[in-house]
Every structure is written in C-alpha cells, then in structure tokens.
Structure 1
Amino acid sequence: MTPAISPPSIVMMDGDEVTRRIDQFAAMLHVCVHDGASIGFIEPFPITEARAFWRDRVIPALNGGKRRLFAALDGDRVVGTVQLDTDTMPNQQHRAEISKLMVRPDCRRRGLARLLMMQAERSAHELGRSLITLDTRTGDGAEVLYLSLGFKAAGIIPDYARDPFSDHLSATTVMFKIL
C-alpha cells in the first residue's frame, strides 16, 4: 500500500521564520525568475540578489507590521509564497495589496497559488480591509487565476515592466477585488 501524501500546508510566517528559512525563500525566488516569472527581477539574477530581497525588503516590512507573508510548505520545504502589503496611507486603511505570488516551477498545477491567494484574502478580511489590489503581466496564467478568484481588471498599462530575459517591455493588468 502506498502511503498517503499529505497536502502542502499554508502558514503565515513572521520575520524571524523567514530569516531562518532565507535560503529556501531565496532559492524559490531565484528559480521562479529563471523560469520567466515577471516579479520584478531581470537577468542576470544571482542568488545573492534573491537573498538580499528577502533580507533587505521583506523581513523589515514583516518585522514592522507592514506586511504579512504566507508560505506553502511541502513538508519542511518552502514551495510557494504570497505577500499582503498593508502599508497604506491614512486614507487607504481599507485596502491591501497582493505582491510576489510565486510557486516553485516543480510544484505548480497543484492549486497552491489559489490556496495562497485565498489565505491572503482571509487575512485582509480579518484586518478589516475591504479592497485588495494587485498587478500582473498581461496575458500571464496568473491573470486567469486572479479572474477565477473574483478579481476584476481595472485597466492595462502598456510597457509597464521589462521582461526578465530581454529589453522587451510588457503590459501589466491592474486588478482589484472588493471583499
């Protein structure tokens, strides 16, 4: 009899936990960018830059209470993540922004991105946020995911971000969801 495989778990992590697992987070970011993910980084993208992103940008925001991070764990391995940014101006305390949704290429097509997004949405609701915004490269598979989760396209900005592998500029779709 084959042993049952437990599904990955979705957990919220604080700055200390991300620090303990920084090598896993850096490796995941590194492999996602090298797989073509449009998440803000371009080639060449060494692992040291991936590590610096978590150390210098994410961990301070987590420690400052300005962001929540959710991770998909397969056993003890970080295989996906999403962040909920709540660092908004006083007139925007009703909203939050989704950023850096990523799943390791070898772990995709298992529903992890959907589970991560659903947890981020629950967290936004718990925080009293009634609007979630995000942006995604126009035409990416993530755009289809967001639409299936009830997000609506607010518009498209042409030439918004550079392709990770070339000088080509891609459009981005700005999306929102009212909770």
Structure 2
Amino acid sequence: MIRLDETLLLEYAGGLAGLLTETVNGGASVGFLAPLGRAEALAWWEQRAADVAAGRLAVWAAHDGHRVLGTVSLAFPDKANSRHRAELVKLMVRPDARGRGLGRRLLATAEDAAASAGVTLLHLDTETGSPAERLYRSAGWTPIGAIPDYAASPAGELRPTTIYYKQVPAGTLTR
C-alpha cells in the first residue's frame, strides 16, 4: 500500500484509470456511467492531483509491481467546523484481486490514516444492496439510512444509496 502524493498520483494515473474503467464497466457504482472510456478516467484522476497537493484528498494505491490492484481515498472538508471528519471515497478493487482481503486492507489503511490525522468521524455512501455493504458492516461501519433514487448506476438506473459512518479513535488534529 502506498500513499500517493501529487507526483505519484500522476505517475499512477494510468493504472488508476484502468482500475476505474474496469470497475465502472463491470457494474460498480462509483459515480460514473458506463461505458467509461480510458481517456475520461485518466483525465478524472489527473484532475485529482491538485486536491492531493492542497491536502483536500488523500489517495492510496495497492499494486503488485505491474498494475494497480485497488485504491481508496479520504476527502477532507475545507470548513473549520468540519476538520474532525472525512469522507471515504472511491474504494475499488480489481475484480481478479477480490476475495483476498485487499478491500479490507485498503479500508483499514484509510481508517488508520484518518485517526493519525486527528479525524474522529468518517462517513461514506454506497449503493444499497451492493457487495460493498457487507465489507463496511463487517468492518464496524454503522448504516444511518438509505436515500431512494440517490444516484444512477453505471447503466443509468436510479438506485438507492445507504449512508454509513464510523467513529475512529480521538487524536490531535494535525491537518
């Protein structure tokens, strides 16, 4: 697992774009419609570099030396009264790398980094009924409810989204 600074994000952008297109085109709802092309996915990742440089986004990638196998990010709010929380975003694992605990390790990496940064509350949203829900529930995340027709699936169908939160150990705010 490697945390990507702005330079590394740009170096890994091609692998991250491949992961994103494979994830979306495989039916996972991560904010894009299918078919997602490589150029669009690459541009999206490259645009995240400014947020990483500014400290608004932290990105981790898991790789096997040849390709990116998974990623997770934390998005930090820019408001002074929100510095104690972050949103977990874009947790993705390549289909051929699933079932080996990589998603759980990515999740734990983000949770540990959040606690180290003084973040005491994490939140996320995920498609209701998706395989991701099983991971979040088993990792101690608490569902607070579902919003009907919140986001379109990659196929364009409106689907419900469940909101989760997790409190992490208190620390000193370092951001």
Alignment TM-score, normalising by the size of structure 1: 0.91
Mapping 1:142-153, distance limit 5 Å: 142-153=132-143
- State the partner residue of 1:171: 160
Structure 1: 5+ residue stretches without partners = 1-9
Contact 1:88–1:95 (CA under 8 A) maintained in structure 2 = no
| Paired letter, 1:169 | L
Give the superposition deviation at 1:110.
1.0
Give the superposition deviation at 1:44.
3.0
In 2, Cα distance between the equivalents of 1:149 and 1:24?
27
Contact 2:19–2:70 (CA under 8 A) maintained in structure 1 = yes
Q: Is residue 162 of structure 1 aligned with residue 137 of structure 2?
A: no
What do the CA deviations read for 1:45-75 (whole angstroms, capped 9, x no partner)? Answer: 211110111011x211101111111111112
Give the superposition deviation at 1:20.
1.1
Contact 2:24–2:35 (CA under 8 A) maintained in structure 1 = no
- State the partner residue of 1:72: 62
Give the superposition deviation at 1:105.
1.0
What do the CA deviations read for 1:18-42 (whole angstroms, capped 9, x no partner)? Answer: 1112111111111111111100000
In 2, Cα distance between the equivalents of 1:164 and 1:77?
24
In 1, Cα distance between the equivalents of 2:12 and 2:117?
26
Contact 1:67–1:87 (CA under 8 A) maintained in structure 2 = no
In 2, Cα distance between the equivalents of 1:113 and 1:139?
17
Identity fraction in percent = 42
In 2, Cα distance between the equivalents of 1:145 and 1:124?
18
- State the partner residue of 1:140: 130
In 1, Cα distance between the equivalents of 2:121 and 2:12?
31
What do the CA deviations read for 1:73-102 (whole angstroms, capped 9, x no partner)? Answer: 112421100001113411111101100000
**SS where residue 90 of structure 2 aligns?**
strand
Matched residue count: 168
Contact 2:74–2:88 (CA under 8 A) maintained in structure 1 = yes
**SS where residue 17 of structure 1 aligns?**
helix
Question: Which of 101, 104, 111 in structure 1 is aligned with 2:91?
Answer: 101
- State the partner residue of 2:20: 29
Structure 2: 5+ residue stretches without partners = 169-175
Give the superposition deviation at 1:116.
0.3
Q: Provide the alpha-carbon RMSD of the alignment.
A: 1.0
In 2, Cα distance between the equivalents of 1:78 and 1:87?
27
Q: Which one is further off, 68-77 or 117-126?
A: 68-77
| Paired letter, 1:63 | A
- State the partner residue of 1:127: 117
List, as ranges, runs of 4+ consecutive aligned residues in structure 1 with deviation greater than 6 Å.
none
- State the partner residue of 1:3: none
